Structure 1
Amino acid sequence: MLAIHLTRFGEPEQSLKVVDVPEPGAPAAGQALVQVEYTPLDHHDLLLAQCIYPVRPELPSVIGNEGAGTVLAIGPDVIRVRPGDTVLLPFGTFAWSEQVLAEAAKLTVVDKSISLDQAAMLTINPVTGALLVESRDLPAGSWVVQNAANSGVGRSVIAFAKERGLRTINIVRRDELVTQLEQLGADIVLVDHPDVATRVRAITGNDPVLLRLDGVSGKATSLLLDMLTDGALLVVYGYMSGDPFTPDQNVLRAKNITTTEFWMYKDKYLPRHQALSAESAHLVAEARLKLPSAPVYKAKDFAEALAYLRRNGKVLLDFNPPPRVGVVTAQHRCAGYGDSPDGLRSRSRNST
Structure 2
Amino acid sequence: MLAIHLTQFGEPEQSLKVVDVPEPPAPAAGQALIQVEYAPLDHHDLLLAKGVYPVRPELPSVIGNEGAGTVLAVGADVTHVRPGDTVLLPFGTFAWSEQVLAQAAKLTVVDKSISLDQAAMLSINPVTAGLLVESRDLPAGSWVLQNAANSGVGRSVIAFAKERGLRTINIVRREELVTELEELGADIVLIDAPDVAARVRAIIGDDPVLLGLDGVSGGATSLLLDVLTEGALLVIYGYMSGEPFTPDQNVLKAKNITPTEFWMYQDEYLPRHPALGAESARLVAEGGLTLPSARVYEAKDFAEALAYLRKNGKVLLDFNPHRG
- Please indicate, yes or no, whether the TM-score normalized by the shorter chain is above 0.5: yes
Corresponding residue of 1:330: none
Q: After superposition, give the CA deviation of every residue in 1:45-69 in whole Å (9 maximum; x if it has no partner).
A: 1111111112111110000001001
Q: How many residues are treated as equivalent by the alignment?
A: 324
Corresponding residue of 1:33: 33
Report how far residue 277 of structure 1 moved. Answer: 0.2
Q: Distance in 2 between matches of 1:73 and 1:267?
A: 29
Corresponding residue of 1:86: 86
Q: Structure 1: which 5+ runs fail to align? A: 324-344, 347-352
Corresponding residue of 2:115: 115
Alignment of 1:1-352 (within 5 A): 1-321=1-321, 323=322
The letter of the residue matching 1:140 is: A
The letter of the residue matching 2:153 is: V
Q: Distance in 2 between matches of 1:31 and 1:5?
A: 22
Q: Distance in 1 between matches of 2:314 and 2:294?
A: 6
Q: Distance in 2 between matches of 1:81 and 1:236?
A: 36
Q: Distance in 1 between matches of 2:295 and 2:174?
A: 21
Corresponding residue of 1:340: none
Q: After superposition, give the CA deviation of every residue in 1:161-197 in whole Å (9 maximum; x if it has no partner).
A: 0111100011111111111111111111112122222
**Runs (4+) of structure 1 moved beyond 2 Å?**
none
Q: Distance in 1 between matches of 2:35 and 2:176?
A: 38
Q: Distance in 2 between matches of 1:10 and 1:201?
A: 47
Moved more, 306-315 or 282-291: 306-315
SS in structure 2 of the partner of residue 101 of structure 1: strand
Query: Structure 2-normalised TM-score?
Result: 0.98
Q: Structure 2: which 5+ runs fail to align? A: none
Sequence identity, in percent?
86
Q: Distance in 2 between matches of 1:203 and 1:258?
A: 25
The letter of the residue matching 1:94 is: F
The letter of the residue matching 2:292 is: P
Q: From the CA coordinates, give the structure whose radius of gyration is larger.
A: 1
Q: Distance in 1 between matches of 2:295 and 2:173?
A: 22
The letter of the residue matching 2:43 is: H
SS in structure 2 of the partner of residue 169 of structure 1: strand
Report how far residue 221 of structure 1 moved. Answer: 0.3
